[in-house]
Structure 1
Amino acid sequence: MTDKINPIRETDDDARTLARDLLGSARVAALGVIEPATGAPFVSRIAFGLGPDGQPMTLVSDLALHARALRADPRASLLIGEPGVKGDPLTHPRLTLRATARFLEPSAEERARLRAAWLQHHPKSGLYVDFADFHFVVFEVDSGHLNGGFAKAYALGQNDLKVT
């Protein structure tokens, strides 16, 4: 009987660097949530960025289905990493995060810091960032899965993903 080969490599500094680079350069992400009305998975493309302390974050409107879903069940999954213009899309690195969403209340002390960091990377959102129905959501990362390309899969923990 042959033992199965574990496709997950041991996490090393190269994997950590690649994951952190993906996080630091991402402007969009795919967000997976559980739709409250049906209990079915739902995926949406969102604007993405890192807060001043390196925490993953987004800005969402209460009108968005994914905002309502996160309020009902804060568990989320984020897919970060875009395929390049050439080559097989599956050979390009991508990072999946398992996280818990935390909405900031409009009066939260850290809102000003998050707003400044957000506008640095998403300046056009200055048109609506202060609308009453928009809220910053910070993702508290539980774990991640990095696919660095063919035969380069890694399981990542919270400490592996910290961007400073």
Structure 2
Amino acid sequence: MSKDPIRPTDPEARALAKALMSKARHGALAVTEAESGLPFCSRIALARDEDGVMLGFVSGLAQHTRALRANPACCPLIGEPGPRGDPLTHPRLSLQARAVFSETGHEARLSLWLRAHPKARIYAGLPDFRFLRFEPLAAFLNGGFGRAFRLTPGDLRP
């Protein structure tokens, strides 16, 4: 019988996951297409909301937005490879989440968003853009070789 490679979640793992979320400016987003039922992955911009939840600002014309409207289950992948070494040794966080489109608090979120993404001013006023929150259901942290952890929503709170 092989040993479980998932380590018990500890304060260091929680801190690394929170740091990845705080630093994230973009990530990959996995969704399920409504029409085909097939997986689809896209790169989107990210920021952390005032309460620590990951936030996206998406166009209603985008394929991932249409998929999320049909099925809000999704998985943002957060974390970038470092400038050197094997990309698979750098930490990353798979956030299993439910996307919730936000119809309130637009101005406060827009201010936060533009601090993180100043070039977004170009499209921020377009009528098809909406904020969404990636409400965490679970997460998987790969902290580098041999450092894998399962996290709960509580582990990710600031």
Deviation at 1:74, TM superposition (A): 0.5
The counterpart of 2:47, out of the listed 46, 49, 52, is 49
The counterpart of 1:129, out of the listed 124, 127, 143, is 124
Deviation at 1:113, TM superposition (A): 1.5
Tell me which residue corresponds to 1:95. Answer: 93
Between the aligned partners of 2:74 and 2:157, the Cα distance in structure 1 is: 18
Tell me which residue corresponds to 1:28. Answer: 26
Tell me which residue corresponds to 1:111. Answer: 106
Between the aligned partners of 1:136 and 1:130, the Cα distance in structure 2 is: 12
Between the aligned partners of 1:116 and 1:52, the Cα distance in structure 2 is: 11
- The aligned amino acid for 2:8 is E
Between the aligned partners of 1:126 and 1:51, the Cα distance in structure 2 is: 18
Specify the SS of the correspondent of 1:82.
coil
Between the aligned partners of 1:58 and 1:117, the Cα distance in structure 2 is: 11
Deviation at 1:127, TM superposition (A): 1.6
The counterpart of 1:38, out of the listed 33, 36, 49, is 36
Taking structure 1 as the reference length, the TM-score comes to 0.94
Specify the SS of the correspondent of 1:135.
strand
Between the aligned partners of 1:70 and 1:130, the Cα distance in structure 2 is: 21
Between the aligned partners of 2:109 and 2:134, the Cα distance in structure 1 is: 13
- The aligned amino acid for 2:29 is L
Give the paired residue count: 158
RMSD (Å) for aligned C-alpha atoms: 0.8
Q: Deviations over 1:106-139 (max 9, x none)?
A: xx2x212211111110011012112100000111
Q: Deviations over 1:40-82 (max 9, x none)?
A: 0000000011111111011000110000000000000010000
Q: Which runs of 5+ in 2 are unaligned?
A: none
Taking structure 2 as the reference length, the TM-score comes to 0.98
Q: Deviations over 1:10-63 (max 9, x none)?
A: 000100000000000010010000011100000000001111111101100011
Specify the SS of the correspondent of 2:4.
coil
Specify the SS of the correspondent of 1:18.
helix
Between the aligned partners of 2:102 and 2:3, the Cα distance in structure 1 is: 44
Between the aligned partners of 1:115 and 1:66, the Cα distance in structure 2 is: 20
Tell me which residue corresponds to 1:154. Answer: 149
Specify the SS of the correspondent of 1:67.
helix
